[in-house]
Amino acid sequence: MPFVCGLDSGGTKTLLALADRTGTVLGPTRSASLDPSKNVDWPAVLATAIAQATSPIDGVGAIEAAAFGLSFHGEIAEISQRQKAVAEELLPGCASHGRLIVENDVRIAFDGAFAAEDGVSVGGVLVLAGTGSMVWASRNGAHDPHLRIGGWGDAFGDEGSAFWIGREALGLASRTLDGRARAPALTQAVLNAIGVRASEMLAWCYQLPDRRARFAMLAPAIGGLAEQGDTDALQIIKGAADHLAAHALAARRQLDLPASSAWSYAGSVFNCRLLIDLLTQRLGNEPTPPRLPPIGGALIRAARLAGWRVDRNWIDRIARSLASA
């Protein structure tokens, strides 16, 4: 039986899944992030992930097409070229038939959120806030441009992301510990989340092998505290909503989209319902719930490369299969 392969890799993890013509999904399997800025061995991690995912189907020969969403793709030319070359080496059959595509992971998330059956154009603004943050927007017709806003990374960007929320919380906690601020509940929540005493916080930070991902892991605690009514955590979540709204509004302006244009969301930060509500207030209309998660967007792109029919039933089966997984 033929399969298509979809992959979604962000700043924290990689998901890889296969789907058949019926819309049944194998996986997803989970592995480490393929972020080339922090993992020089990412090609080996990718090779292992493909081998593990395809082992139940007797190797890669049964894969008709593949779509990979990778962080940094389209952002740094040297990295993008390397990502494409590695993908082609691992799936030569797909590559030789023009059935392999490598995209930015946020474009793949956009494809999942606004998934539509063949012949139907559904577009809008996708706000992604996971470890990092970015907006991807398009009217999504055959000849319409695609626009990205943000995605500048943790050095001077990623506003509103899980990393940004964690960094803001750590900063407020540090100011509280030495008397420049007063946020006792948030400070205790931060210390509980990282599992150290106040005197150990600096050592914890500067001994981290992956500071960006570990800071991001604080976001759920801050979101939960904000939803409980803590004013200090609420100010951080409001700040995240302000930043993400600015991304989305910039995309609407540049694409000349109406104020009521559709928007959707992806990424772990949106597990905080309060953030969705705050962003809804700032953008002026309710979001369109993502029809598929990012890995589903990758599977749709792969299925179209394979020439498969992608109708409403196929998309719905992919959604149900992924949800059950």
| pLDDT, tens only, 203-232 | 999 999 889 999 999 999 999 999 999 999
Q: Is the per-residue pLDDT at 121 higher than 90?
A: no
- Using the structure block, give the residue that is written with the tokens 């930043």: 243
Q: Is the per-residue pLDDT at 17 higher than 90?
A: yes
Residues 231 and 274 in one domain: yes
Report yes or no on 316 lying in a domain: yes
Report yes or no on 58 lying in a domain: yes
Residues 103 and 212 in one domain: no
Taking the C-alpha atoms of residue 84 and residue 103, their distance in angstroms, rounded to an integer, is 9
Q: Which residues pair with 97 in a beta bridge?
A: none
Q: Is the per-residue pLDDT at 256 higher than 90?
A: yes
Q: Is the per-residue pLDDT at 112 higher than 80?
A: yes
Report yes or no on 154 lying in a domain: no
- Host domain of residue 56: 3-115+291-324
Report yes or no on 126 lying in a domain: no
pLDDT band, very low/low/confident/very high, at 61 (cuts 50, 70, 90): low
Report yes or no on 137 lying in a domain: no
Report yes or no on 39 lying in a domain: yes
Higher pLDDT pick, 242 / 56 = 242
Please provide residue 184's backbone torsions phi and psi, each rounded to the nearest 5 degrees. -65, -40
Residues 14 and 111 in one domain: yes
Sign of the alpha-carbon torsion through 98, 102, 103, 108 = positive
Higher pLDDT pick, 154 / 67 = 67
pLDDT of 35-57, one tens digit each?
888 878 899 999 998 988 887 77
Report yes or no on 121 lying in a domain: no
pLDDT of 257-279, one tens digit each?
999 999 999 999 999 999 999 99
Mean pLDDT of the residues in the chain: 93
27-31, 182-186, 189-193: the lowest-pLDDT one: 27-31
Residues 297 and 243 in one domain: no
Q: What is the pLDDT of residue 170?
A: 98
Residues 232 and 275 in one domain: yes
> Hey, what amino acid is at 276?
I
Q: What is the DSSP code (8-state) at residue 151?
A: -
Q: What is the pLDDT of residue 188?
A: 96
Please count the structural domains in the chain: 2
47-56, 104-113, 304-313: the lowest-pLDDT one: 47-56
57-66, 207-216, 240-249: the lowest-pLDDT one: 57-66
Residues 301 and 233 in one domain: no
pLDDT band, very low/low/confident/very high, at 60 (cuts 50, 70, 90): low
Report yes or no on 215 lying in a domain: yes
Residues 205 and 274 in one domain: yes
Q: What is the pLDDT of residue 292?
A: 95
Residues 60 and 91 in one domain: yes
Residues 268 and 174 in one domain: yes
Percent of the chain with pLDDT over 90: 80
DSSP conformation letters of 51-105: HHHHGGGTSGGGEEEEEEEETTTTTSHHHHHHHHHHHHHH-HHHHHTT-EEEEEH
Residues 252 and 300 in one domain: no
Q: What is the pLDDT of residue 10?
A: 83
Q: Determine the average pLDDT of the residues in 181-192.
A: 96
Residues 102 and 177 in one domain: no
Residues 44 and 109 in one domain: yes
Please provide residue 108's backbone torsions phi and psi, each rounded to the nearest 5 degrees. -65, -40
Q: Are 257 and 251 in contact (CB under 8 A)?
A: yes
Q: Which residues pair with 128 in a beta bridge?
A: 134, 266
- Entry pTM: 0.90
CATH number at residue 80: 3.30.420.40
